Chains A and B, each alone.
Chain A
Amino acid sequence: MSRKASDVVAALTSWRVVLSIVVLCLLPWLLPSKALAVNVLVYGVLAMGYNLLFGYTGLLSFGHAAFFGAGAYVTGIAIGQFGVPWYGAVVLGIAGGGCLALAIGALSIRTRGIYFSMVTLALAQLVYHVALQASSWTGGENGLRGFTVANVDLFGWRVNFLDPVNKYYILMAFAALALWFVSRVLNSPFGAAIEAIRENETRARACGYDVERTKLLSFVLSGLICALAGAMSALHLAFVPLDVLHYQTSGMIVMMTLLGGASSFFGPFVGALAFLLMEDVFSLWTSHWQIIVGSIFIVFVLFLPKGIWGTFLAKVTR
């Protein structure tokens, strides 16, 4: 690695939160629509939360739709049925997703490899069917409606939340918080512990790490961030479709993370952007756009396992 390139990477790493926020600030003016930009925020935060578990701890969960959905439903129900102010509803949404992550994590963390993936998938399906049946709370198949946030009060200012630009920057504040938090976790001693577990679980245990407890904490932190993404999605759409809990959502999270680059800090946002752009463009041509996205995904898994952002970083550092 040349001196200059390593300096660039070191600078990118130590300024990663600020740089990411700058990119997100510019995003709505670079993309064809503000709605697409908001979706990049929501799914970027979702994939980033997932990446903490998948990319950094090495656990492939197929059930993260449950935490995204829990965050969205709890936020929507809190506003629509209990009249909780929007910021309180976001906090409740995060807490709800975190509790669900603690429960699902505690049940699944002792299994390994494919079994872990299957247990998380099964438990998330259980959550899906509970939401489907509890239609008086969730609206069942029709989804949850009736909690539109039209105005938000920010430090005495009344801001029109229906304006796309206002909405984007308010939701971006949450994304910025999530970026800061994840960066903090990755820099911490705990971040070193989860990397060690990803690299070699046996050795990590022999070093004195309680592997199960560490994994569970990582699972819960990941669930909290995914629940925040759910809460953002609920505020954005003023609607929670039952599909947020569908296993296709879990699959999409994995795809976005891998496309962008697992175990890279900004990769999940790049992956979310790439996925949503492909969806936008290809769905104009054909209703079978998923075939094209799927083929591209296969190419990535086979030839660019580090994803778009990870491959770019590797090129820069070589």
Chain B
Amino acid sequence: MSAPLLAVENIGRRFGGFVALDGVTAQFEPGKVTSIIGPNGAGKSTFFNVLSGVLTPSSGSIRFKGADLTGTRQHRFVHLGIARSYQITNIFPELSVHENVRVGAQASRSRYNIWTNRNTFHELSDRADAALQAVGLSAKRNETAKFLAHGQQRALEIAIALISDPEVLLLDEPTAGMGPEETREMVALLETLARQRTILLVEHKMKMILGLSDRILVLHHGRLIADGSPREIQTHPEVRRVYLGQNDGYA
């Protein structure tokens, strides 16, 4: 087993009296796809928000490449190498498709410069085009982002998340609201990405998860109840009881 890239130690998060995460400990190795599953309200989104710096954990710590990230502000996470996408499409609606990605690339290069013309950063523009190519949106380059189809907007969001060239990519339900055809395209895209980087995935589509994941974590009421390969998870008695059992014909 190689050294973990990302590790959480006894993470807890409360919202007032509600415990959303309760002592979760896990380690993520480089180059693997890990899915996080669990019924609604299990704490998946909170877990993702803690891993991406949106929320500071109430207890416990996050370590990335050996450095403690607990309490680091969210925008720093991207610069360190952890990027994310959102469950609800989160793009810049009025900007062009290309500018959506270009402005994402720019964040690693120039944030407060008021003197240079932004168009002189050719490298950023080229990187944005390469990212659009990777997610299959090159033809839509100059369109206003809000006019894209839903599936294309989801792909655009992944391009924005990818543009910082993150070591860890957190994808929160990338196929949410997609039809079968769009889902197939997204799965193909994720399979390509999985060969290049460490991916953490929250999803509900079991067939997709079982096909894509190297490893699955199961959350229930904020606790980690199982952690193993897809095969182990499928046969795990507690998982079958709380989660898979409610979902007949999942596979």
Mark A residues whose CB is within 8 Å of B: 184-185, 187-193, 195-196, 199-200, 202-211, 213-214, 217, 221
- From known contacts A187-B117, A196-B103, A217-B112, infer whether A207 and B160 are also in contact, taking CB-CB under 8 Å: yes
Residues on A with beta carbons closer than 8 Å to the beta carbon of B113: 188-190
27 contacts across the A-B interface (CB closer than 8 A): A188-B116, A188-B118, A189-B116, A190-B110, A190-B113, A191-B118, A192-B102, A192-B103, A195-B103, A196-B92, A200-B90, A200-B92, A200-B93, A203-B90, A204-B92, A206-B75, A206-B84, A207-B107, A207-B164, A208-B79, A208-B104, A208-B108, A209-B75, A210-B73, A210-B111, A213-B112, A214-B112
- Classify chain B's interface size: 35 or more
Residues on B with beta carbons closer than 8 Å to the beta carbon of A211: 75
- Classify the interface of chain B: helix, strand, loop or mixed: loop
Min CB distance, A210 to chain B, in Å?
Answer: 5
Q: Contact: A189 with B110, CB < 8 Å? A: yes
Closest 3 CB pairs of A and B: A208-B78, A208-B107, A189-B110
Residues on A with beta carbons closer than 8 Å to the beta carbon of B161: 206
Cα–Cα distance between A315 and B113 once the two chains are bound (Å): 33
Min CB distance, A112 to chain B, in Å?
Answer: 16
Chain A residue nearest to B73 (CB atoms) is A210
Residues on B with beta carbons closer than 8 Å to the beta carbon of A185: 114
Whether B42 sits at the interface, judged by CB under 8 Å, is no
Mark B residues whose CB is within 8 Å of A: 52, 73-76, 78-79, 83-84, 86, 90-95, 99, 102-104, 106-119, 121, 160-161, 163-164
Residues on B with beta carbons closer than 8 Å to the beta carbon of A205: 74-75
Q: Find A207's partner among B104, B114, B117, B118 (CB 8 Å cutoff).
A: B104
Residues on B with beta carbons closer than 8 Å to the beta carbon of A202: 86, 90
Chain B residue nearest to A199 (CB atoms) is B92
Q: Find B94's partner among A184, A188, A199, A214 (CB 8 Å cutoff).
A: A199
Cα–Cα distance between A210 and B84 once the two chains are bound (Å): 16
Cα–Cα distance between A49 and B161 once the two chains are bound (Å): 33
Cα–Cα distance between A81 and B113 once the two chains are bound (Å): 37
Min CB distance, A92 to chain B, in Å?
Answer: 22
Q: Contact: B92 with A210, CB < 8 Å? A: no
Min CB distance, A73 to chain B, in Å?
Answer: 27
Q: Contact: A189 with B91, CB < 8 Å? A: no
Cα–Cα distance between A211 and B74 once the two chains are bound (Å): 10
Chain A CB within 10 A, most for which of B92, B93, B119, B161: B92
Cα–Cα distance between A120 and B78 once the two chains are bound (Å): 31
Min CB distance, B61 to chain A, in Å?
Answer: 22
Q: Contact: A192 with B118, CB < 8 Å? A: yes
Residues on A with beta carbons closer than 8 Å to the beta carbon of B108: 208
Cα–Cα distance between A205 and B99 once the two chains are bound (Å): 16
Q: Contact: A189 with B160, CB < 8 Å? A: no
Min CB distance, B76 to chain A, in Å?
Answer: 8
Q: Contact: B75 with A210, CB < 8 Å? A: yes
Residues on A with beta carbons closer than 8 Å to the beta carbon of B116: 188-189
Q: Contact: B78 with A189, CB < 8 Å? A: no
Min CB distance, A220 to chain B, in Å?
Answer: 11
Q: Contact: A192 with B106, CB < 8 Å? A: yes
- From known contacts A193-B103, A196-B95, A200-B93, infer whether A207 and B78 are also in contact, taking CB-CB under 8 Å: yes
Cα–Cα distance between A221 and B112 once the two chains are bound (Å): 12
Min CB distance, B85 to chain A, in Å?
Answer: 8
Cα–Cα distance between A199 and B93 once the two chains are bound (Å): 7
Cα–Cα distance between A128 and B14 once the two chains are bound (Å): 43
Q: Find B106's partner among A193, A199, A213, A221 (CB 8 Å cutoff).
A: A193
Q: Contact: A206 with B111, CB < 8 Å? A: no
Residues on B with beta carbons closer than 8 Å to the beta carbon of A207: 75, 78, 103-104, 107, 160, 163-164
Min CB distance, A182 to chain B, in Å?
Answer: 10
Q: Contact: A184 with B115, CB < 8 Å? A: yes
Q: Find A199's partner among B52, B95, B111, B163 (CB 8 Å cutoff).
A: B95
Cα–Cα distance between A200 and B157 once the two chains are bound (Å): 12
Q: Contact: B106 with A189, CB < 8 Å? A: yes
Residues on A with beta carbons closer than 8 Å to the beta carbon of B164: 207-208
Chain B residue nearest to A203 (CB atoms) is B90
Cα–Cα distance between A221 and B115 once the two chains are bound (Å): 13
Cα–Cα distance between A94 and B102 once the two chains are bound (Å): 34
Chain A residue nearest to B99 (CB atoms) is A192
Q: Contact: B95 with A206, CB < 8 Å? A: no
Min CB distance, B148 to chain A, in Å?
Answer: 14
- From known contacts A188-B118, A189-B106, A189-B110, infer whether A200 and B91 are also in contact, taking CB-CB under 8 Å: yes
Cα–Cα distance between A200 and B118 once the two chains are bound (Å): 19
Chain B CB within 10 A, most for which of A190, A192, A211, A217: A192
Cα–Cα distance between A43 and B79 once the two chains are bound (Å): 41
Min CB distance, A6 to chain B, in Å?
Answer: 11
Cα–Cα distance between A202 and B84 once the two chains are bound (Å): 11
